[in-house]
Structure 1
C-alpha cells in the first residue's frame, strides 16, 4: 500500500430538506484530500442494508477509495435542519454502523502506511469505534500528521476522550463555539479566545491549532506564528461539509510544504466555495486545486 491520507470515523447520510446526501466529517475530509491529488482513504463501517450499498456506490461514483466493513447495524443517518442562513443543526442516530468500526487487518495496514490522519470525537462516542481509532493511532508511523478535528456534536463527547485525543494530535481544529465548550469543560472559561488557543497549543504540545469562527474569519496558531484570514462573502447554499473541505485543503497544502499563511488562505477559499454548493462533496474548481503542487 502507498502512503495514504486517511479520514477515520463516521460515514453517514445527511438527510437535508432537499433530500439525502452522503457525508460524515472523515469521509468528507478524504474526498477533498483526494481532489488535491493525494492517495486518500475513507475508513468507517456500513450496514448490511440498502443504504450501506448506496453508500459504497456513491463513494465509487465520486472516486473516493474506502475501507468500510459491513457490520450488523444500520447505516448511519443524520436529520439536518437548516436555519435561514443555511447553518445546520443535527439529530445524529445512535447505535449505527459507524459506532461499530472493527479493527481489521486491512485497516491496520492502512494505519502503518498513513501519511496524515483526520479523526474526531464523534466516532469515539462508542467503545468499539473508539478502540479502533486508538489502535489506528498507535499503529501509525512516527511522522504521520495527526489532525484532531474535534467536531463536538450534541452530548457525544467526554473530557477524557478529548484529553486523550489532544495528547495524540499534531493539529487541533476547533470552531469558536466548541472553544467555549472546551473552556468550560477544562476550567478556564475566563480566558479570551486567543489566550485559550495559545494555552491549548502549549499544554498539549501541538504543532498547530486551527480556529474557525464562521463569518468572523479563522485563525491558525503555531509556535511564534499567528495567521488570520477573513471569511469571503459568498451566496451560501448550505455550510454542510465546509469545515471538512477546509481541513482537507489545509492538510494537503501543509503536506506539500506550503507555508502556513498560504495553506490557510487556500483552505478558506476552498471552504467558501463549498458553501456555495449543495452538500458536503462538490467538485472543486481547477484553479483552487492547481494551487497545491
Structure 2
C-alpha cells in the first residue's frame, strides 16, 4: 500500500516576537511525519510573492515535499504573541493564498495514492479551499487502512456548525482539545455531560475509528470503540507551545501507520509533543531517540 501522508490546508508565516517562522498546522504535521521516515506532502497555496518564494525555499531546505500552488493572493501570515506562560495568541490574516487552494489533476492523483491525510477547520473558512479539501477526501481510497484525520483547530470564529458536521462525517479520526470540546458541545447541544461522555457520543455518532482528546497539562486521551487510553502530560520547561499539538498528531499517526498499538502510539505522541514544547518554533528537529521508536 502507498504510504503517502498529507498535511492539507494553511501554509504561512508565523510572525513571532523573535522573528518570523514557517507555520501552519498542515506543514507542521507533514514535517514531523517526515522525521519518522514517511513520504509526506504539504498541500497548500502561496502567493506569487517573496513570502511565497521563501516558504518554498524553507520547505526545500527541510527536505519536505510539497504540492503547493502559486495563486494571485498574498501569502498567508499570522501575528503570534505569547502570554506569560508561552501560550500563543493568533491574529490570522484573511483573503490569502491558502484560502484559495485549487483542486488540480495533480492533486487528484495524489489523493488516489494517499494513506493518511490531516486537515482542519481553519483552512475551510473560505469556500474555494473547503471545496478542494472535501474533493480530496472524497477522492481518497476508502479502505480500512486509510486515515482521514480531522484536527479541528478552532481559531477566531473561522468555523460553522455545518463545516464541523461535514468534516466529522468525512473523517474517521477526530482530534480535539478540551476547550474545543466545550465549544463543540455548546454548538451541538451536549451541555452538562462530562468530557469523556461527550467523546463517546461523538465517537459513536460519527462512527469514528479513534477520537483523540488533549487536555493540556491535564493529560490526553485516545478513545476507540470500547477502549480508552490515557497518558499524563510530562512536566517540561516550556519555550513555547506553537506546533506541539501538530507534532502529537504526526507522531501518533506515524506510529499507527507503522502498526503500533494505540497505547504505544499515544505514549510516543505525548513524548514528542512535550519535546517540541521545550523548543522555540513549530518545527524543531526531533532527537534520534524519539525517531527510533518507529
**SS of corresponding position for 1:257:** coil
Shift of 1:234: 0.6
**SS of corresponding position for 1:54:** helix
| Cα separation, 2, equivalents of 1:3 and 1:220 | 23
Residues 1:157 and 2:159 aligned together: yes
**SS of corresponding position for 2:34:** helix
Residues 1:276 and 2:267 aligned together: no
5 Å-filtered alignment, 1:83-102, equals 83-102=83-102
Shift of 1:2: 5.1
| Cα separation, 1, equivalents of 2:69 and 2:100 | 10
**SS of corresponding position for 1:68:** strand
Which consecutive aligned stretches of 4+ in structure 1 deviate over 6 angstroms post-superposition? none
Q: Which position in structure 1 is the counterpart of 2:172? A: 170
8 Å Cα contact 1:2/1:39 also seen in 2: no
Residues 1:245 and 2:247 aligned together: yes
**SS of corresponding position for 1:154:** coil
Q: Deviations over 1:208-253 (max 9, x none)?
A: 0000011111000111111111110111110000000000000000
| Cα separation, 1, equivalents of 2:46 and 2:245 | 23
- Of 122, 127, 147, which residue of structure 2 is paired with 1:145? 147
Unaligned runs of 5+ in 2: none
Unaligned runs of 5+ in 1: none
Shift of 1:167: 0.6
Shift of 1:3: 3.7
Q: Which position in structure 1 is the counterpart of 2:222? A: 220
Shift of 1:188: 0.9
Compare 136-145 and 119-128 and name the one that shifted more: 136-145
Q: Which position in structure 2 is the counterpart of 1:40? A: 40
Q: Deviations over 1:64-87 (max 9, x none)?
A: 100111000000000111011100
Q: Deviations over 1:174-195 (max 9, x none)?
A: 0000000000000112111110
Q: Which position in structure 2 is the counterpart of 1:200? A: 202
Residues 1:121 and 2:154 aligned together: no
Q: Which position in structure 2 is the counterpart of 1:230? A: 232
Shift of 1:105: 1.2
Q: Which position in structure 1 is the counterpart of 2:75? A: 75
Q: Which position in structure 2 is the counterpart of 1:12? A: 12
8 Å Cα contact 2:21/2:281 also seen in 1: yes
TM-score for both structures, normalised by structure 2: 0.98
Q: Deviations over 1:122-174 (max 9, x none)?
A: 00000000000011011101122100000000110000010011011111000
| Cα separation, 2, equivalents of 1:155 and 1:224 | 33
How many residues of Structure 1 are paired with residues of Structure 2 in the alignment?
292
8 Å Cα contact 1:33/1:40 also seen in 2: yes
8 Å Cα contact 1:124/1:161 also seen in 2: yes
Q: Deviations over 1:24-65 (max 9, x none)?
A: 001110001110000000000000000000000000011110
| Cα separation, 2, equivalents of 1:85 and 1:107 | 40
RMSD, matched Cα: 0.9
8 Å Cα contact 1:7/1:117 also seen in 2: yes
**SS of corresponding position for 2:64:** coil
